[in-house]
Structure formats: C-alpha cells, structure tokens
Amino acid sequence: MADGTFPITIEDGIHIVKLCECILQNMPPEQIGPEIVQIIDKINDPKLIISFEEVEHLSSASLGMLLMINNSIANRQGQLVLCCMNRRVTDLFDLTKLTMKFTITKTVDDATASFA
C-alpha cells in the first residue's frame, strides 16, 4: 500500500493499482496522483497498471491525475496501462479522445501481457 491509503501490488516488476469508488470518494485525485508519482520516481523503466474494476465514474480531476501519472511515467521511459473499465468510463475516454493517449485493456491479465 502507498502510505496505507490504497492498494498497490507488485507482480513481476509491474506495479498494479486497484482503484475503487470509495478510494476516489475519500481521497482526492490531487492526493492519489502525487503518491503514485512518488512510487514511480523511485523506479527505472516503471511499469504501472491502473485497474478501474470498481469505479463507476471519473471526475475531470481524476482524468487530470491520470494525465499527470502518464507524463511522469513517459518521462522515465516507462509504460502505463489502464484496464477493467466499465462502459461509462470507457465512453468518457472515447468522448475526450483519451483513448489515443492511453493504452487500455479489458483485464489485468491483458494489461500485464501488453508489457511483454
């Protein structure tokens, strides 16, 4: 866990963040993003998966957080993959054209495989 606030697991050198609605409601994106970036900044060639399995919707601040994380990872020559989005979140990414900015997969296993 990152400072005990949200779950982060590491599998085969890949950091996996599982966001859920209660985390996004209780912890502002302005706090989540910097915590994830602190972890990324300690890793060479970071690989990060963010799972939205339990997320019903995203705010504009959450989208900004994702862009900040993506830029931080890109600056360190790493990769970010988003996965497990419901239809509502997927539609938001389509509407905002963020599907062009992010790699998005259906499952965590698909996301993990995309690093190979």
Q: What is the pLDDT of residues 3-48, one digit of tens each?
A: 446 788 999 999 999 988 777 777 888 888 898 999 888 888 999 9
Non-local (6+) Cβ contacts of 53 within 8 A are 18, 20, 84
CA 79, 85, 90, 96: dihedral to nearest 10 degrees? -50
pTM: 0.91
Q: What is the pLDDT of residue 5?
A: 64
Please say whether the beta carbons of 9 and 1 come within 8 A.
no
The secondary structure of residue 3, as a DSSP letter, is T
List, for residues 48-98, the tens digit of each pLDDT value: 999 999 898 888 899 999 999 999 999 999 999 999 999 999 999 999 999
Q: What are phi and psi of 64, to 5 degrees?
A: -60, -40
Q: What is the pLDDT of residue 44?
A: 87
List, for residues 100-115, the tens digit of each pLDDT value: 999 999 999 999 999 9
What CATH superfamily classification does 8-113 receive? Answer: STAS domain (3.30.750.24)
Given pLDDT bands bounded at 50, 70 and 90, which one contains residue 2?
very low
Q: What is the pLDDT of residue 14?
A: 95
